[in-house]
Structure 1
Amino acid sequence: MHPTRTTRPRALFAMGRRHRDALFPAAAIRRLAAHVDIDPDHVAEDLAHEPALAEVELLITSWGCPVIDADVLARAPALKAVVHAAGSVKHHVTQACWDRGLAVSSAAAANAVPVAEYTVAAILFANKRVLDIGGLYREHRAPLDWARRFPGFGNHRRTVGVVGASLVGRKLLELLVPYDLDLLVADPHIDAARAAELGARHVELDELIGASDVVSLHAPALPETHHLIDARRLSLMRDGATLINTARGSLVDTDALVSEAATGRIHAVIDVTEPEVPPADSPLYTLPNVLLTPHIAGSLGGELQRISGSAIDEIERYCSGRPFAHAVRPSALATSA
């Protein structure tokens, strides 16, 4: 990227103020200040009228970052790199940035960890029928014959299908390998050998849906993945199977999911929806076989420190002349989140 330097690059926070406060507490600011020249109290939420851009070499971005377009770049002649303390850079890194040759890094790998962890918990609870049994236990306040009510319940040798070998999908498979599960993966961008390296068997999507006790979605939101899970594919799911979506709401046809779930035939754990907050009268809130959570699978609370730590690691690499460990390649954006 550049030789080891003797002066610290000028850096600027470009994100929502509340995200800066959550991601970079005092300890993180002290570590950051050892490598870059930055005003920790100044956060650019509008780059269109940001005078500090004239001298900035490094932008530290996160959720709420304004779009970095050609007009912004014209006011930032010294800008060479963007370190994103969050996941996808598609919302703010434009083609003008790639044309300029900016080095871009993302903490998507760090953000993948809690999503995968949430999904592991959802899978294990789904196969163990924890939510169903918990509700019945609360209702009857006495033990019932759980094995009779839920024949074959449990996680031993159950089949889990992972849709998308994304960062989250790969992390999920890594976390699931130690369990006694049969793992399938569907992704047109990997082959059987790569799937085997991940501990799974590569199959086509329809086969995965029909063979799995749990179908977990980890594909990016792209035109070709819009409503990837539609009424036809929902109908392929086994009776009693569970659909988990911690990826993007647009992957699932919500109306079709509501119709299928309303029959009681399948279960769902939904952390992302289309629209992002369902209408107040949506059956997703009340269907007993649907667990709806408000986009909490990703980094929140103390998990944010993993993201800022990853970003500062990247800044240390940049300042010492080393390449980013989590560089974003423009060629990969067409098939990633």
Structure 2
Amino acid sequence: MHLAETQIESGAAVQRSDEISPSQGWSAVLCVAEPERGAFFPASTLQRLEARCDVRIVDRQVLDSAHGFAQSFDGVQIAITSWGFPSLSAERLVLAPQLRLVTHTGSSVKFLVTDEFWTSGVRISQAGAAMAASVAELSLAFTLALLRRIPEQDHALHDGSEWQVARTARRGVEIAGARVGVVGASRTGRSYVERCQALGADVLVHDPYLRHDDPLSDRSATLESLLASCDVVAIHAPLTEESKGMLGRGQLASIRDGGVVVNTARSPLVDMDALYDEAASGRLDVALDVFDVEPLPPDDRWRALPNVLLTPHLGGASVQSRLRAGQIVVSEIERFISGRALEHEVHRPALERIG
């Protein structure tokens, strides 16, 4: 049967073709745009991948059409994806009947998977673990900068304020002895906790799924008590139906005057209008790597506040994190081809609790 002629009724399972014989060899579609492709897969990593399978580098735009998708995945068992890869709907899955594994270079795979994907038998893995240290480090940099009031002082000097006037900015606070509240005991949250504790911070953690035998359980706090008692509130929770809007106007109002809010997770976790009002009033200092609208418009209101630090959603994009992610992808493919268990596989039930 010609691939493009295969029909699927809505909600029907997508059947895979016969099992692949190892003698046929393995093929992978690599769909990661430059310059990110080179960041994830430098020569040494790409050579390691090519030693295990035939690699087809495919531009994202080619996959928009049914013909381009079918041609790209003809005889291919493995997809290496990045942001912008098309959703794996029934219509696309039927164009890739030999597909067995999707390895995502990023963290969240929610935009990739569909109901039909989960019934297709294709497995999926992600490289989010590679980004935890990078995002945590940015969060720590934000934390230190805001505690020491660096944005306010920097703006004063850049705006031409007199030296003595600039020195009247609020006095900075050291992180040692400061109370830092972490919302979300995710991989990134745990990495951030380690860094803050190493610098002497007193850390509290809120996560409704934190087990009593978890190493962080002795730091566990309700969201209400964390917000009311911490100098810094750092958000590291995944975006789920449960967590969406968890920090609303009332919750933000309970943070002490002069408090710091750091969000390197997802903007819908927070009422961004309420957070803006708190920052604009000067009551809270804020650092953001994520926004409701991305790219952030040139005239966006957040750009004008001197007590706010902004970065363009690059928390997980360090040189080292990209290298680690590429290595994770190749390792997962090596495990899959050799029949070993995947280390970073995503299963459907987990999507309710992960980003």
- Deviation of 1:192 (Å): 4.3
Residue 243 of structure 1 and its aligned partner are, at CA, apart by 0.5
What does 1:52-71 correspond to in 2, within 5 Å? 52-71=72-91
Q: Which residue number corresponds to residue 35 of structure 1?
A: 52
Q: Which amino acid is 1:25 matched to?
A: P
Q: In the superposition, relative to structure 1, how do residues 75 and 180 fare at CA in structure 2: closer, same or farther (>3 Å)? A: same
Displacement after TM superposition at 1:135 (Å): 4.3
Q: 2:308 aligns with which of 290, 294, 306?
A: 290
Q: Decide which of 156, 178, 186 is 2:198's aligned counterpart.
A: 178
User: Which residue matches 1:72?
Assistant: 92
Q: Give the letter aligned to residue 232 of structure 1.
A: G
* 2:227 equivalent in structure 1: 209
SS at match of 1:54: coil
Q: Structure 1 CA distance, aligned partners of 2:221 and 2:42? A: 45
My pick for the range that moved more, 13-22 or 251-260, is 13-22
Paired with 1:91 and 1:18, the residues of 2 have a C-alpha distance of: 22
CA positional deviation for 1:276 = 2.5
Structure 2 distance, partners of 1:299, 1:327, is 22
Give the drift of 1:37. Answer: 1.4
Question: Would the alpha carbon gap of residues 319 and 114 (structure 1) be closer, same or farther in structure 2, given more than 3 Å must change?
Answer: same
Q: CA–CA distance in 1 between the matches of 2:72 and 2:241?
A: 37
CA contact (8 A) 2:80 2:105 kept: yes
TM-score for the superposition, normalised by structure 1: 0.89
Q: Does residue 336 of the first structure (1) align with residue 329 of the second (2)?
A: no
Partner-residue secondary structure (3-state), 1:285: helix
Query: Is the Cα–Cα contact under 8 Å of residues 29 and 58 in structure 2 kept in the other structure?
Result: no
Paired residue secondary structure (1:191): coil
Contact 1:161 1:214 in 2 (8 A): yes
- Alignment check: 8 A CA contact 2:238 2:354 kept: yes
SS in 2 for 1:171: helix
The reply to whether residue 166 of structure 1 matches residue 186 of structure 2 is: yes
Name the CA distance, whole Å, in 2 between partners of 1:200 and 1:246. 24
Compared CA separation, residues 18 and 79, structure 1 to 2 (3 A): same
Cα distance in 1 for partners of 2:117, 2:338 equals: 22
Deviations 1:118-166 (A, max 9, x none): 01111122223333344456644469878x9427x21121111111112
The count of corresponding residues between Structure 1 and Structure 2 is 332
CA distance in 2, matches of 1:100, 1:315: 19
Bigger drift between 281-290 and 212-221 goes to 281-290
Q: How does 1:226-245 map to 2 (within 5 A)?
A: 226-245=244-263
Instruction: Specify whether residues 4 and 173 from structure 1 end up closer, same or farther in structure 2 by C-alpha distance, changes over 3 A only.
Output: farther
Pairing of 1:94-109 with structure 2 (within 5 A): 94-109=114-129
Could you tell me which amino acid in structure 2 is paired with residue 191 of structure 1?
R
C-alpha contact 1:98 1:330 (8 A) present in aligned 2: yes
Q: 1:173 to 1:54 in 2, by over 3 A?
A: same
Is contact 1:59-1:81 (8 Å) kept?
yes
Shift of 1:69: 1.2
* Structure 1 residue 115 corresponds to structure 2 residue 135: yes
Farther off after superposition, 185-194 or 284-293: 185-194
Is 1:150–2:165 an aligned residue pair?
no
**Which AA in structure 1 matches 2:139?**
T
Unmatched runs of 5 consecutive residues or more in structure 2: 1-18
- Whether the 8 Å contact between 2:106 and 2:126 is mirrored in structure 1 is yes
Q: Percent identity?
A: 36
Shift of 1:301: 4.8
Q: What is the distance in 1 between the residues matched to 2:56 and 2:33?
A: 15
Stretches of structure 1 lacking an aligned partner (at least 5 in a row): none
**In the alignment, which residue of structure 2 is the partner of 1:275?**
293
TM-score by length of 2: 0.84
Question: Using the alignment, how far apart are the partners of 2:58 and 2:314 within structure 1?
Answer: 28
Indicate conservation of the 8 Å contact 2:63/2:72, yes or no.
Answer: no
Give the match for residue 324 of structure 2: 306
Residue 92 (structure 1) aligns with: 112
Amino acid at match of 1:297: G
1:257 is aligned to 2:257: no
Q: Is the 8 A contact 1:15 1:45 kept in 2?
A: no
Change in CA separation of 1:211 and 1:4 when aligned onto 2, cut-off 3 Å: farther
- Check conservation: 1:115, 1:297, Cα contact below 8 A: yes
1:223 aligns with 2:244: no
Per-residue deviation, 1:186: 0.9
